[in-house]
Amino acid sequence: MLRFGEMKNTLNEHLMGLFSACLVQLFFGAALASAQTPASSAPVFRLDGGNATYAFGVNERGDLQALYWGGRLGPNDVIAPARSFPEWASFDSPNTTTPQEFAGWGGGLFTEPALKITFADGNRDLGLHFVKATHASQDNYVILMKDISREIYVTLRYSMDPDTGVLSRSADIENREKEPVMIEQLAAAQWTLPPAHYTLNYLTGRWAGEWTLNQEPLRQGARVFESRRGTTGHQANPWFAISRQDSPGPAGPLTAGEEHGEVWFGALAWSGSWRFTVEETQLDFVRVTGGFNPFDFGYKLKPGEHLETPVFYGGYSSRGLGGASRLLHKFEIARVLPQAPDPKLRPVIYNSWEATEFNVDQTGQIALAEKAASIGVDRFVMDDGWFGQRKDDHAGLGDWYVNPKKFPNGLKPLIDKVHALGMDFGLWVEPEMVNPDSDLYRKHPDWVLNFPGRPRTEQRNQMVLNLARPDVREYVEGFLDKLLSENDIAFLKWDYNRNWSEPGWDQVPPDEQRRVYIDFIRNLYAILADLRRKHPKVEIESCSGGGGRVDLGVLHYTDEVWPSDNTDPFDRLAMQDGFSYAYTPQVMMAWVTDSPHWLNFRSTSLTYRLLSSMQGSLGIGANLNKWTPEDFTTAKRLIAAYHSVQRTIVRGDLYRLISPRDDSAFSSTESVSGDKSQAVVFAFTHSTQEGRGFPLLQLRGLDPNADYQVIWIEGKALLGTPDRASGAWWMNHGINFDLRGDFGAAAFRLDRVR
């Protein structure tokens, strides 16, 4: 065994020879020191897109090794081939010290593996080596790897979006052994960042309190974010951003912030149990491993079978967290959403849930529809309560026939009336659930997730149907297809109001039961895809008691999401701020509901509520039967104003000018259209003190040489503010306006006039 000192010298020599002497430059050094590195035939794979370059290679051991991820390099820059790192003393083998692209567990790997397998003979060692690469186009690579002796093949797919530089990565595992193997842990991808000081940004929450942005220094060790709930979860969202604390700047290192500095980000496209492990290793590399949650996991892969992971997206911005989220928004619109690359703007909806709860009937819904149409609503959505014996949340889920007492002639008279009023019609469903008090449960008690002989836990008086079962999948798809075929429905609000418990599946052998974590979600996606194919005009919202199922997996099949059951317009400002770090405002539904609000008992003006909701895709969820004539006038005026600037708000570049976080007295956002011809600005006060007015707003993202005219949607400028000025004026001089008091709101647009 080498002594520590000897080992250290060996390592230092190695690093000095291979890379820059500076440890902080270790990783970049590896990429850029090509001129000093002896030529090698080891392949280097490089992808360029937007302002990013990603590179990896094969080292002399045959490992796939991370080489570079960061700002775009010159087209002729040479990236040095990979060379593995040596042992760190006798305690860590090169398997641990070398940043691998997709590490199998074995050979002394102490960092997080991407793949861990138990073979039929009890062997649990896995060493993945490069076999070949296919480069079908300049934007993608398909890499084949194989275990050093066993017939386990891993195909890694890399695809770079040329516009945003967002990279899509996934893995496919194939068993060509003669016996089944058990996959115990499987990530979609592992990302490596160079050694530096970083801030970790992540989103957490709870029911009615989703989308809290957390920011903390990254330290050695591991941070784990996950859902064990069989679904995405309210508690953590599968998105991260890592901002560099010592980003290179013109006047020396600076901490990456909202609009400057280097940021690496990622999001996993999966709506089942997931896990991210963010490690800062002993050699100061930062590694993010994410994919299926290994908790209670076990996927038996039979000979000839494959298991494919979801896609893990990753991107890089040199323009802070704001730049990172603008790239993600653009990517989601252009590449992820079902209607990509140009999804329809969301219709302004009315939903009666907060007004009527379960008390829906034909007369009541028609009365609300008439009022909704009068203020410019485009889509009328009937929420929970229309089906089976649904009077409250104790009964009915699973029985998807129209309740004959509430709707004696079916849904047609209501739908026809809604159409006659110039709106289209949407309906609430919760397809994966069942109440024990339902015909469906009485007929098929074995259809729910459960461990036989053990209690079947109910939450909100309901249980989860085992969608992994082919017969359950057929039932769910069948009733939805029938509902959509028999009724002129433009939209489904697809809800999911509890998480898993007792995820048993006793119809399959014990060592296959944990496939439920994957088969359930794959069937959900398959149903959504089939319905969209059969009913191409139908749009779908992903809702799970608010924001419990928001991720880039479900957003491939759904057009919008419900971010939270908490519609308090002040709480929503912080939620919308947090949401916008990961997801585009195009998918962010935001309703105006009643005041005082049921959750915080807070009173706010209708104008404040409307402006808060106008930051996303607007909806109305108030009890219109209680509105005054003035309320109708205000709503009609602001909905019309919203319609005229909606594209800029939900599809433009979002700048978070003043954050509502950290008890800020103020907040403000600005959205600038892609061609810079329009900007829309929102401003809100929480409470002002000592008569202080709103802070100076220096806008961003405008064309400095163009002239813009200000048009107030709500509020007014201070005397002396020009109506028209150059982009440079709005950005450098900035605008002052008079907005004071508690829960005040203002909004204006800037239209390019020259």
Task: Confirm whether 511 is a catalytic residue.
Answer: no
Closest distance to ligand GLA from the beta carbon of 197 (Å):
40
What whole-number distance in Å separates Cα of residue 82 and Cα of residue 65?
A: 6
Element (H, E) at 382: strand 379-382
Q: Which residues pair with 147 in a beta bridge?
A: 128
- Cα-trace Rg, the chain: 27
Task: Give me the 313-352 binding string for ligand GLA, x by CB under 6 A, dash otherwise.
Answer: ----------------------------------------
**541 makes contact with ligand GLA (CB under 6 A):** no
494 binds ligand GLA (CB under 6 A): no
Binding region for ligand GLA (CB under 6 A) out of 129-137, 274-282, 411-419, 539-547: 539-547
- Amino acid code (one letter) for 424: D
Query: In terms of Cα–Cα distance, which of 645, 651, 689, 653 is closest to 669?
Result: 653
Pick the stretch among 187-195, 415-423, 542-550, 651-659 that binds ligand GLA (CB under 6 A): 542-550
**CA 602 to CA 255: how far, in whole Å?**
37
Residue 581 interacting with ligand GLA (CB under 6 A):
no
Which residue type occupies 312?
F
Out of 543, 606, 618, 699, the only residue in the binding site for ligand GLA (CB under 6 A) is: 543
- Between 391 and 643, CB nearer to ligand GLA: 391
Stretch that binds ligand GLA, among 178-186, 370-378, 471-479, 543-551 (CB under 6 A): 543-551
Region from 9-17, 125-133, 433-441, 540-548 binding ligand GLA, contact rule CB under 6 A: 540-548
Of residues 381 through 420, those in contact with ligand GLA by CB under 6 A are 383-384
Interacting residue with ligand GLA among 428, 441, 627, 737 (CB under 6 A): 428
Q: Which of 161, 495, 551, 653 is flagged as catalytic? A: 495
The count of other CB atoms within 10 Å of the CB of residue 342 is: 10
Instruction: Determine if 270 is a binding residue for ligand GLA (CB under 6 A).
Output: no
Contact status, residue 138 vs residue 45, Cβ threshold 8 Å: no
- Reading the block at residue 173, the tokens are 């595992």
Cβ atoms of 346 and 589 closer than 8 Å = yes
The answer to whether 154 touches 63, Cβ cutoff 8 Å, is no
Smallest distance, ligand GLA to C-beta of residue 540, A: 14
Of 562 and 743, the one with the shorter C-beta distance to ligand GLA is: 562
Q: What is the DSSP letter of 740?
A: -
The SS3 assignment for 264 reads strand
Q: Is 565 a catalytic residue?
A: yes
Give 20's Cβ-side CA count (13 Å radius).
Answer: 14
State the Cα–Cα distance between residues 119 and 76, nearest whole angstrom: 45
472 token code pair? 């359950």
The site that binds ligand GLA (CB under 6 A) totals a number of residues, namely: 11
Which secondary structure element, helix H or strand E, spans residue 70, and what is its range?
Answer: strand 64-71
> Is 495 a binder of ligand GLA (CB under 6 A)?
yes
Residues 176-202 as b or e (16 or more Cβ within 10 Å = b): ebeeebbbbbbbbbbbbbbbbbbbbbb
Q: Is 85 in the site for ligand GLA (CB under 6 A)?
A: no
Q: Is 568 a residue that touches ligand GLA (CB under 6 A)?
A: no
- Least separation in angstroms between CB 521 and ligand GLA: 20
**Which member of 565, 568, 577, 707 is catalytic?**
565
- Minimum CB separation of residue 440 from ligand GLA in Å reads 17
By CB under 6 A, residue 701 contacts ligand GLA: no
When binding is defined by CB under 6 A, the residue of 247, 497, 584, 634 that contacts ligand GLA is 497
Residues 6+ away with beta carbon under 8 Å from 566: 208, 209, 210, 546, 572, 575, 599
Q: Which of 262, 378, 399, 565 binds ligand GLA (CB under 6 A)?
A: 565
| Residue positions annotated with a catalytic role | 495, 565
Q: Which chain residues interact with ligand GLA by CB under 6 A?
A: 353, 383-384, 428, 495, 497, 543, 545-546, 562, 565
